[in-house]
């Protein structure tokens, strides 16, 4: 374990300096042109909202990046810390209680005032969800109440030093009471952000207008359209032709054409995101650790990174990138060893009685090629594989229920909260709400429980490293390559700051030059 005493002193500010998985962003667009406040903008996003805009779902990310949904706190990547947003300050008033002071002068887009009572109601709505948000659930938060007109108290079942981080999760976004009057959540006209949604085309687009009464200052755009384009090549083509002004998550295969395209800038940011082949540890043959290790030994990650990712990604050395402050120094990317893989298969008693299926998520255009490479690697050790392409929304129910073999996907380790405790808890504990791997290990759960109540940053990072070593030892999944966040932006877009976590895209400052 590397010495991380300096990291402990500055907390998550260290993440902005990471070369492999930092959160500092890839850059900004120019500000030397004159903004035209009558302009509108088009953003191509890689996924569509699901679950009728329920904030406990990934729909919250769409509302956040669209400039509608806001939270009590906000993780500032440049500063590497949690900063005020709808709350101006907070303090831990007892081991189990945190008080947040609500900002004065904020109105919801329906004209009602932001109050402690409305904030508490919104947060309790998330807590009461049938499937609560990974960052804000009853197992983590006991309750929320307004103690006076401007103070909201968050109570936890055990001491939790990361409550301010959890209130920066987009899943804890605040909507007005009117948003919760029907059977489903209605964000239209009920956010606090610089843009208000006015219409949608289901699974196609969301149209937004300027919020002229925004508490955070003048909004520089008249409005925006966020399009849900799952095909990466299409997103790249639309920003190149000018059909879109900003395209998020550009695939590696499109980078060469965009980098030479006139009037287009390609922004890259280090990101704590790893392309992963998730394996269903809950059923045969994946419930045998030797079988999982055999598959790991069969893969040629260096060739995968060089071919499919065209050198824009690095072979993964386990669940963390080597540069992350909670990764063990000893972590190295596994090398292909076909003979070792065959011996492990024999030890596992594996017989090829059926082809194993890989689901390749179509939202990531490169996954079709990644699946083909894996298919060839596994064929060489006698493991037949079939490939099925699916949109993630259609695949998720079966995957969460354990009705699958393998799925190619990726998770940003800091997407739930800007600390890996969210990812490590949701994805790998026995009761994890996003445990695609269906992995359960008492030793691992004990380490995570200890980390969750550890306030000292250095000690917590050591526990994260230990958890990562357990996951790697058990070969829970096949971690393939560490990726970058790559956006493409037209040259007439002004004041755009790339967010590697894709939470904040449209802000009050985002602008566009006149044509």
DSSP secondary structure letters along 456-507? -HHHHHHHHHHHHHHHHHTT-SEEEEEEEEEEEEETTEES-B--TTSS--S-
Q: Which helix or strand (DSSP H or E) is residue 345 part of?
A: helix 338-348
Maximum Cα–Cα distance across the chain: 68
pLDDT at 31: 60
> Which of 424, 427, 431, 386 minimizes the C-alpha distance to 405?
386
pLDDT at 407: 98
pLDDT at 344: 98
Within 13 Å, how many C-alpha atoms sit on residue 127's CB side?
A: 19
Joined tokens for residue 378: 């596994």
Please state the φ and ψ torsions of residue 372, each to the nearest 5 degrees.
Answer: -65, -40
Per-residue pLDDT of the chain (515 residues; tens, 9 = 90+): 333 333 333 333 333 333 333 344 456 666 668 999 999 999 999 888 876 899 998 899 999 999 999 999 998 877 778 999 999 999 999 999 999 999 999 999 999 999 999 999 999 999 999 888 889 999 899 999 999 999 999 999 999 999 999 999 999 999 999 999 888 899 999 999 999 999 999 989 999 999 999 999 999 999 999 999 988 889 999 999 999 999 998 988 888 889 889 999 999 887 788 999 999 999 999 999 999 999 999 999 999 999 998 877 889 999 998 878 898 877 789 999 999 999 999 999 999 999 999 999 988 888 999 999 999 999 999 999 999 999 998 999 999 999 999 999 988 888 788 889 989 999 999 999 899 999 999 999 999 999 998 988 899 999 999 999 999 999 999 999 998 889 999 999 999 999 888 899 999 999 999 87
pLDDT at 3: 32
Strand pairing category for 385-390 and 356-361 = parallel
3-state secondary structure of 137: coil
pLDDT at 10: 31
Q: What gap in Å lies between CA 406 and CA 321, rounded to an integer?
A: 22
Residue 353 burial (CB < 10 Å; 0-12/13-18/19+)?
exposed
């Amino acid at each position: 374990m590397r010495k991380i005493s300096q990291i402990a002193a500055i907390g998550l500010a260290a993440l902005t300096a990471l070369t492999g998985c930092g959160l500092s962003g890839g850059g900004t667009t120019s500000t030397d042109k004159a903004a035209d406040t009558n302009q509108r903008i088009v953003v191509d996003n890689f996924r569509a909202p699901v679950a009728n805009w329920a904030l406990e779902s990934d729909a919250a990310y769409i509302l956040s990046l669209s400039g509608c949904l806001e939270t009590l706190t906000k993780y500032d990547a440049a500063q590497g810390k949690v900063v005020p947003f709808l709350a101006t300050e907070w303090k831990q008033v007892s081991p189990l209680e945190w008080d947040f002071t609500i900002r004065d002068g904020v109105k919801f887009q329906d004209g009602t005032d932001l109050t402690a009572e409305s904030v508490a109601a919104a947060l309790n709505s998330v807590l009461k969800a049938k499937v609560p948000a990974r960052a804000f659930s009853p197992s983590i938060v006991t309750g929320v109440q307004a103690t006076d007109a401007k103070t909201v108290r968050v109570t936890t079942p055990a001491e939790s030093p990361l409550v301010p981080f959890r209130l920066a999760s987009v899943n804890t976004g605040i909507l007005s009471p009117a948003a919760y009057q029907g059977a489903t959540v209605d964000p239209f006209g009920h956010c606090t952000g610089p843009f208000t949604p006015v219409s949608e085309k289901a699974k196609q687009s969301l149209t937004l207008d300027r919020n002229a009464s925004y508490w955070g200052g003048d909004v520089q755009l008249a409005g925006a359209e966020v399009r849900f384009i799952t095909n990466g090549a299409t997103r790249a083509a639309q920003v190149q032709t000018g059909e879109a002004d900003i395209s998020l998550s550009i695939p590696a295969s499109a980078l060469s054409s965009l980098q030479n395209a006139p009037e287009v800038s390609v922004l890259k940011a280090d990101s704590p995101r790893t392309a992963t082949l998730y394996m269903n540890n809950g059923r045969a043959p994946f419930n045998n650790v030797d079988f999982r290790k055999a598959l790991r030994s069969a893969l040629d990650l260096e060739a995968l990174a060089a071919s499919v990712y065209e050198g824009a990604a690095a072979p993964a050395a386990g669940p963390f990138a080597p540069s992350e402050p909670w990764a063990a120094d000893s972590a190295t990317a596994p090398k292909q060893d076909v003979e070792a893989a065959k011996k492990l298969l024999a030890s596992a008693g594996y017989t090829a009685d059926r082809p194993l299926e890989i689901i390749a998520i179509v939202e990531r255009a490169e996954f079709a090629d990644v699946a083909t490479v894996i298919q060839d690697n596994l064929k060489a050790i006698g493991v037949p594989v079939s490939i099925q392409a699916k949109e993630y929304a259609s695949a998720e129910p079966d995957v969460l229920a354990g009705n699958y073999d393998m799925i190619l996907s990726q998770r940003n380790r800091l997407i739930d909260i800007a600390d890996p405790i969210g990812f490590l808890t949701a994805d790998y504990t026995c009761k994890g709400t996003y445990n695609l791997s269906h992995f359960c290990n008492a030793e691992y759960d004990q380490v995570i429980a200890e980390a969750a109540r550890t306030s000292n940053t250095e000690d917590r990072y050591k526990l994260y490293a230990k958890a990562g070593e357990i996951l790697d030892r058990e070969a829970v999944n096949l971690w393939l390559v560490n990726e970058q966040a790559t956006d493409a932006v037209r040259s007439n877009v002004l004041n755009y700051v790339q967010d590697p976590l894709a939470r904040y895209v449209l802000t009050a400052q985002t602008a566009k030059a006149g044509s």
